[in-house]
Amino acid sequence: MAMPRHAQAEFESLSKRNPSVLDSLIVGARCAGSTLAIHLSRAGKRVLAIDASNLPSDQPLSTHWISPYGMAMLDELGLGDKVRRFAPPVPSMMYGLDDITGRIEYPAGGSCSCPRRTDLDALLLDEARASGAEVRTRTKLVRLLREGERVVGAVVEHAGLREEIRARIVVGADGPHSTTAALVGAEEYHGYECPRALYWAYWPRPNWFDEDPRYRGGAMNCTFGNDVIFVFPTNRDLLLIGVAFPKTQLPEWKGRSLEKLTETLRRNRYTAPLTTGQPASKAIGALKLRFFFRQATGLGWALVGDAGLFMDPSPGFGITDAFRDARALGRAIVEGEHQALVRYWRQRDATSIDLFEYSRSRGALGHNNPLNRMLYGKLAAEPELQARLLASQNRQCSPLTIFAPSDIKKWAEQAVLRGEVSVIEPLMEMSQRSEQIRAEIAYRERLAGQADFAPVQAAASDTPGSYVPGGHCAVGAGEQL
């Protein structure tokens, strides 16, 4: 999708013709928008970031977990230690299915964290301002300005007053229900409805939480029966505790979500001791989620964060990916060529499709099956597999490469010889899905290649490595949720 020559010329001359034209107008100023504003401002660009909300405020749709890779990116921005100062480190994460559980240990020093979004988003916003960006809250995008096909700015509204703002590029960082995406008509692809609904609330963190061997101050993300139960130790001495359950059960939750949440958590042997007292919040729910990719750029516009790619939160990479993609988009904008934006889009897809598919498997209702129970057993027993799980969270390898297909086949055959024939059906399903995923990954890599992006690297990572999106592509058990 090369930009027509005349449009490119216009793109380059727009700000020269009119000095009041901004370099970038960013719609949405949370983890994607503020981070992009920081990168662009530090590169000397004139940036305005607006947000409809009265920031800083909580982002209700978040369970806060930031992966080691996400914390590394905060370090790169110079913000990691500031987060560590107010949010406790998360030393480990318990994973598992039913009674098969294990724990992934993170290196000491606060490589993972679960900061409340009020605090994290405020930090990013302050840094965006300190870097030179203008930030206006309670200001919403209403309409886009166009010259021909090209977006050249927007009409924004604050306290009932509307204003025209012209910018070389308008970036939608305005979340999954992105107004920007709707106004530019960004195409959605590879979308599906989430089969689960989630409810969670905050409980006080008991003073024995760090010493108790069941928790050791860590997070938890395990499947019990058909429910995924999670505990995220956040700041302000609170634990975020919740459940993701089949959406078909929603009628049972209607009108009594906190009561039902408490009942569910008190039935679980891990969350029961943590929820004996009163919660410190109401129940918060995510009831109807749709996951998708969206076209990430067009003439004069781009999308970043959930506005352009929204995946099952099971592995908890939304915040991390927002940081990662904001950095990649910032670089593409600074490069200034439309083709750089197209490369950003295609690279995002090529480096995200594996995690997207992995997350889909993790969130699927059939996740708790005999084959995955067997794989979780192997994971809990074998340090080498645990090391791969950790590497996948550091974005050094794909989560689809934790288990080698030849190992899965071998273990399944051994199970069948022991009479455990129930592994056969999920094995066949897994192999069919692996085929589809392989094809999808190959397609994304082809598109990335066509966009002049030769080697697909670890999610725009600066760290050299041999990241392969699909790798040996076994969709099995693994990390959290």
Ligand X SMILES: Cc1cc2nc3c(=O)[nH]c(=O)nc-3n(C[C@H](O)[C@H](O)[C@H](O)COP(=O)(O)OP(=O)(O)OC[C@H]3O[C@@H](n4cnc5c(N)ncnc54)[C@H](O)[C@@H]3O)c2cc1C
Applying CB under 6 A, the residues found at the interface with ligand X are: 27-28, 30-33, 50-53, 59, 61-65, 140-141, 173-175, 179, 198, 286, 289, 305-307, 313, 316-320, 322
Residues in Cβ contact with 345 at an 8 Å cutoff, skipping those fewer than 6 apart: 295, 296, 297, 302, 308, 451
Q: Which residues neighbour 308 within 8 Å (Cβ) at sequence distance 6 or greater?
A: 172, 178, 181, 186, 293, 294, 295, 296, 302, 325, 345, 348
Q: What gap in Å lies between CA 453 and CA 347, rounded to an integer?
A: 7
Print burial letters for 442-469: b (CB count within 10 Å at least 16), e (below 16): eebbebbeebebeebbbbbbeeeeebbb
Nearer of residues 33 and 110 to ligand X, judged by Cβ: 33
Minimum distance between the CB of residue 424 and ligand X, rounded to whole angstroms? 34
Considering the complex, state which of residue 134 and residue 407 has its C-beta at the smaller distance from ligand X.
Answer: 134
Q: Which residue has the tokens 């190959």?
A: 442
**How many Å apart are CA 35 and CA 78, to the nearest integer?**
12
Q: How far is the CB of 30 from ligand X (least distance, A)?
A: 4
CA 223 – CA 230 distance, rounded (Å):
9
Least distance between ligand X and beta carbon 284 (Å): 8
> Least Å distance between CB 23 and ligand X?
18
CB 288 within 8 A of CB 198: no
**HEC readout, 50-109:** ECCCCCCCCCCCCCCCECHHHHHHHHHHCCHHHHHHHCCECCEEEEEECCEEEEEECCCC
Task: Give whichever of 230 and 411 is closer to ligand X, judged by the CB atom.
Answer: 230
Q: CB nearer to ligand X: give 320 or 369.
A: 320
Query: Any alpha helices (H) in 199-284, and if so which ranges?
Result: 250-253, 257-267
**C-beta closer to ligand X: residue 70 or 370:** 70
At residue 369, the 3 state secondary structure works out as: coil
Q: Which is nearer to ligand X, 238 or 286 (CB)?
A: 286
Q: Are 300 and 24 in contact (CB under 8 A)?
A: no
> CB 325 → ligand X: shortest distance, Å?
9
Eight-class DSSP state of 3: P
User: At its nearest, how many Å lie between ligand X and the CB of residue 221?
Assistant: 9
232 by DSSP, 3-state: which? strand
What's the CA gap between 194 and 245, in Å, rounded?
11
Q: What is the DSSP letter of 365?
A: T
CB nearer ligand X, residue 176 or residue 470: 176
CB nearer to ligand X: give 179 or 386. Answer: 179
Compare residues 247 and 472 and give the one whose CB is closer to ligand X. Answer: 247
Minimum Å distance from CB 244 to ligand X?
8
